[in-house]
Amino acid sequence: MTQAYPLQWPHGRPRKAPTERKDATFGKVVGTGHERRLKSLSLADARGRLQDEVDRLGGKSAILSTNVALRLDGLPRSGQGEPDDTGVALYFDLGGKPHVLACDTYTRVADNIAALAAHIEATRKIERLGVATAAEMFAGFQALPAPGSASWWSVLQVEQDATAEQIEAAFKRLARERHPDRPGGSHDMMADLNRAREQGLKERSRG
């Protein structure tokens, strides 16, 4: 079950080292005329931006997972400093499929949240060009199950009664995307694929 606290980083997604994080330029403009200035986003501002973008996207059942401790009503507890790990992950359903966006690029939790909101906003603008739907563009962000926790057919994205040929074809297709030498791939992802292929072919041989 996805948890809002502490941070539940998506399986197979690479992490940035703390030394790689940077200060962000996200903020909000306050004041008018000569008094206009850019003010750092608060957690409330960033969460509000993200929720607005998720709503405009049509995302459902959104859960924002961070290392910011929450009150019983789901809002951040007051008086907290920045956690050591400022990464954030947004889990949501889009088109009936689970998706996850994650960011640990910045030194503040609020700015990582704002980056997710900006990403969704940019994707929605691209969608208006009519080349691809938001669901198609977010297909690469479908949430992967934790290692060993899913059925072999769901890992391979095939039907439970898939033939040996379909299992092999799915394995080869996904291996090209999830191999550790490919961007976004990892050894864990390949281990899951290998395990799923082995289990699926074993069941077919019994049949």
The chain-wide mean pLDDT, for the chain, equals 87
Work out the percent of the chain whose per-residue pLDDT is above 90. 43
Alpha-carbon span 56 to 8, nearest angstrom: 24
List Cα–Cα distances, 110 to 5, 66, 144, 156, 170, in angstroms: 15, 10, 25, 36, 39
Work out the percent of the chain whose per-residue pLDDT is above 70. 95
4 pLDDT above the threshold of 80: yes
- The residues, any chain, with a CB within 8 Å of residue 106's CB and separated by 6 or more, are 21, 22, 23, 24, 26, 86, 112, 115
**Band of residue 95 on the pLDDT scale cut at 50, 70, 90:** confident
Identify the weakest region by mean pLDDT among 21-25, 139-143, 150-154, 202-206: 150-154
207 pLDDT above the threshold of 70: no
Contact in structure between 128 and 57 (CB atoms under 8 Å): no
Alpha-carbon span 109 to 80, nearest angstrom: 11
- pTM score, two decimals? 0.68
pLDDT at 150: 66
- Could you give the angle at the alpha carbon of 178 between the alpha carbons of 172 and 179, nearest 5°? 80
pLDDT in tens, 104-144: 999 999 999 999 999 999 999 999 999 988 888 998 888 76
pLDDT at 36: 72
**Band of residue 172 on the pLDDT scale cut at 50, 70, 90:** very high
pLDDT in tens, 37-61: 778 889 999 999 999 999 999 999 9
**Band of residue 145 on the pLDDT scale cut at 50, 70, 90:** low
Mean pLDDT of 63-87: 90
73 pLDDT above the threshold of 60: yes
Sheet of strand 60-65: strand arrangement: 60-65, 88-94, 97-103
Q: What are 66's two structure tokens?
A: 């961070």
Alpha-carbon span 120 to 46, nearest angstrom: 13
149 pLDDT above the threshold of 80: no
